[in-house]
Amino acid sequence: MEAVITAQDVHLFYGTKEALKGITMQIKQHEITAMIGPSGCGKSTFLRCLNRMNDLISTVKITGQIKLEGQDIYAPNTDTVQLRKRVGMVFQQPNPFPFSIYDNVVYGLRLAGVRDRQRLDEAVETSLKAAAIWDDVKDKLNQSALALSGGQQQRVCIARVLAVQPEVVLLDEPTSALDPISATQVEKMLLELRKNYTMVIVTHSMHQASRISDQTAFFYQGELIEMDQTKNIFLNPTQQKTEDYISGRFG
């Protein structure tokens, strides 16, 4: 399977604190890559490197290289708005805008200048279907997204990301603020989306990683200790630290 993202020796400093200590990894197309590890090990920091969200923090310094489809995303001429469309992000807390469901989903398209009503309508239907929320909301597209349940809001937020047709979707603990039933629905949806998208998910739940991911990367204290097919990480890890973590000896 082809790599969509390649990271080479990525170091990240928050001021003088080194939060990532030379991460090298490949993210393969149409797979779900899970990042696991104890709190503070750098999972979210690394995830945010993949669409340059850390640029928004003034003390951050990054070295190394990250390529998307062969292009260096930290090259000086990179258009970060365009990059964040190609590499979309879903956060832990559902964060719909205080608009209607429809206006939430077409937000990125309108920002990109799309005005054609039919095209917007089609994008709303396609994205909400892909996010497995169309049936719940098709009769109330003009109602506020804030009136939905947390799980529904999260799926609308995922539809909002999908509407701009990203190549990669980054998900930072997307189900940890949801009830178990909503979390299961979101997991099912992610498995469906894998046919068309490449996804990278940070999760605190080893069960979630083992249920939905193809590859698992184990981070510890800013280092990538081991990355492999998920079943190998959970059944036959090669590193002692990985084994200790997955068997609950720390973290």
The span of 37-45, 93-101, 138-146, 174-182 binding ligand ATP (CB under 6 A) equals 37-45
Q: Which residues contact 222 (CB under 8 A, 6 or more apart)?
A: 18, 19, 20, 21, 41, 42
Min dist. Cβ of residue 19 to ligand ATP (A): 4
Answer yes or no whether residue 19 interacts with ligand ATP by CB under 6 A.
Answer: yes
Q: Which two tokens stand for residue 227?
A: 């990355």
Closest CA to 169 of 147, 195, 140, 205: 195
Q: Given CA atoms 165, 69, 172, 204 in this order, what sign does their dihedral have?
A: positive
Min dist. Cβ of residue 160 to ligand ATP (A): 23
Amino acid at 67: K
> By CB under 6 A, how many residues form the interface with ligand ATP?
11
The span of 34-42, 69-77, 104-112, 116-124 binding ligand ATP (CB under 6 A) equals 34-42
The whole-angstrom distance between residue 63's C-alpha and the CA centroid of its chain comes to 22
Min dist. Cβ of residue 210 to ligand ATP (A): 17
Closer residue to ligand ATP (CB): 4 or 19: 19
- In the region spanning residues 41 to 100, those forming contacts with ligand ATP, defined by CB under 6 A, are 41-45, 57
CA distance 15 to 122: 45
Contact positions vs ligand ATP (CB under 6 A): 14, 19, 37, 39-45, 57
